[in-house]
Amino acid sequence: MSMMKAALLGAMIPLALATPILAQGHGERGARAERGPQMVFADLDLNGDGSVTLEEITAHRDGRFATADADANGALSRDELLAQGADRMARGVDRMLERADANGDGELTQDEFAAVRSDRRGPNPERMFDRFDADGDGQVTEAEFDAAVAQFMERRGGRHGEGRNRG
């Protein structure tokens, strides 16, 4: 299996499991921190006038950059980018636990995870598997996997891996 395939599979599995849990209830809470990194109109409308200008969008972007730039040197280092990613991941995990941890013990059992997943919208592992299993025999061959990855890449316009050696 090439590194590209391994990386794509490694990204798809957790995404298929966690995305629905993270996506639930986005419109139900007031604080942006509880809704995750999605852009919220109120966050962009910096002057609160009910409309968003290009300047406000630019200021929002610049503010996010400045927050991530811990040493204020005008550049984001690997460590700063990793810290920003770790913070986002920690908030996502906290949201997942808040929504899925039915007994409040700070851990997710398989049943709790499955209960939240069963109520979700969007892609799920079964649907993804069915898309990969082109001949419907209950197994995904490397050829089927390669074809599904190629189709995914084509829909994404060739991004993420374009021009790389995919051996």
Question: What's the pLDDT at 167?
Answer: 44
Answer CATH for 38-119 from 1.10.238, 1.10.3470, 2.30.170, 1.10.10 = 1.10.238
pLDDT category at 128 given cuts 50, 70, 90 is confident
Integer Cα distance of 21 and 93 in angstroms:
10
Contact yes or no for 157/50 (Cβ under 8 A): no
Q: How far apart are the first and last CA of the chain?
A: 8
Annotated domain spans of the chain: 1-24+124-167, 38-119
Q: How far apart are CA 157 and CA 143, in angstroms?
A: 21
59 pLDDT above the threshold of 60 = yes
Q: Which two tokens stand for residue 161?
A: 């891996």
Q: Count CB neighbours of 23 within 10 A.
A: 15
What pLDDT band is residue 113 in, cutting at 50, 70 and 90? confident
The pLDDT assigned to 35 comes to: 44
Distance CA 49, CA 47 (A): 6
Q: What is the model's pLDDT at position 51? A: 87
* pTM for this entry: 0.44
Distance of CA 59 to the CA centre of its chain: 24
Whether 157 has a pLDDT exceeding 50, the answer reads yes
